[in-house]
Amino acid sequence: MNRREFITWVGIGGIASYLPVAIVACSPKTDESTSAANPTRADGFESVGTVAQLDQEGEILNEQFFAGSILVLRDPEDSNRIIAVNPTCTHTGCTVKWQGEQTEFVCPCHDSKFAIDGEVIQGPAKDSLAGYEVKQEDDLILVKAG
């Protein structure tokens, strides 16, 4: 192979290696398409599911919420009240699970425990889970971050 052929092949290889980057850069992002499906309203609330879905499944885990993951469930002491927290453990970032029998969130990684309002019951986590304002309109569950 002479020098001219070598340089031609290197040029073609360089262009070909940038093709996947160009395709990804021009593709719609999944976060944007999710936001279009559940747009944030002018009042700052976003639909995260329906009351029917909550009643059927017992909880709603929405990982596409605009402020991060969100876990929605009914307050075990007041079935008319809906609770929403960020289920990301503040210790190492694992997703906490709701334990209805104990009425607490439990981290499967290091056994941190949190009350229904997100307050730490047992460490090693030191910070509470973030809570969100929730309201119901017709069959929709709406959550406002911040």
Q: Which residues of the chain have pLDDT under 70?
A: 14, 18-41, 145-146
CA-closest candidate to residue 91, choices 139, 128, 118: 128
Q: What pLDDT was estimated at residue 122? A: 84
- Three-class SS of residue 12? helix
Q: Both 50 and 73 in a single domain?
A: yes
Number of domains in the chain: 2
Q: Domain span at residue 22? A: 1-37
What is the per-residue pLDDT for 114? 92
Report the C-alpha gap between 63 and 90 in whole angstroms: 17
* Residue 88 sits in the same domain as residue 139: yes
Is the same domain home to 82 and 107? yes
138 phi/psi in degrees, rounded to 5 = 55, -120
Per the structure block, which two tokens stand in for 71?
A: 């876990």
pLDDT, residue 58, reads 86
CATH of the domain at 71: 2.102.10.10
User: Would you say 143 and 72 are in contact if contact means Cβ atoms under 8 Å apart?
Assistant: yes
Instruction: Please tell me whether residues 98 and 115 are part of one structural domain.
Output: yes
Examine the domain organization and report whether 62 and 30 are in the same domain. no
Angle at 142 between CA 70 and CA 135, to 5 degrees: 110
Q: Are residues 47 and 92 in the same domain?
A: yes
Claim to verify: residue 59 and residue 125 sit in the same structural domain? yes
